[in-house]
Amino acid sequence: SDLQNEALEAHNKLRAIHNAPAMTLDADISAGAQAWAEKIAADGTGSHDPTIFDQGLGENWNIACQPDQKSPTATVTRWYNEVCDPGFTFGNSDDPGLGAGHFTQVVWKGSTKLGYGKANGQYSGAECEFHVGRYKAAGNFGGKYAENV
């Protein structure tokens, strides 16, 4: 879909900065991401799928309520921009710093397949979009940061 292609392009553009290989879209992973986006949109709150690690996947999610945030590009950029958060350090294998997990998943070299979904819902009384990115292989493994970010 156009949505998934936009998400893929946004990821790969940012991954290239870090010499991470380009990802490809995976239809099955996208179907799962879409189903989870629909669930959290219906619930009106963001959360991670508790079975995500059992599926061997990584996951990012975002709730976008402002018009200029309602695109895959804006969502992926928001995840990526956590690299600027205090405490993140490149080359630290075990503890890269709290709060940058969305960034590290976006550029994780070992993640080569992407799934992406989006659903509309209410959040704090506003009309919002619930975006979900899923990744295979999962990123953010302790001891593996230096070689993957």
**What domains can you pick out in the chain, each with its CATH number?**
2-147 (3.40.33.10)
Which pLDDT band holds residue 18 (cuts at 50, 70, 90)? very high
Q: What is the reported pTM? A: 0.93
pLDDT tens, 19-56? 999 999 999 999 999 999 999 999 999 999 999 999 99
What span, in angstroms and rounded, lies between the C-alpha atoms of 102 and 79? Answer: 5
Contact 149, 61 (CB under 8 A): no
What span, in angstroms and rounded, lies between the C-alpha atoms of 143 and 91? Answer: 10
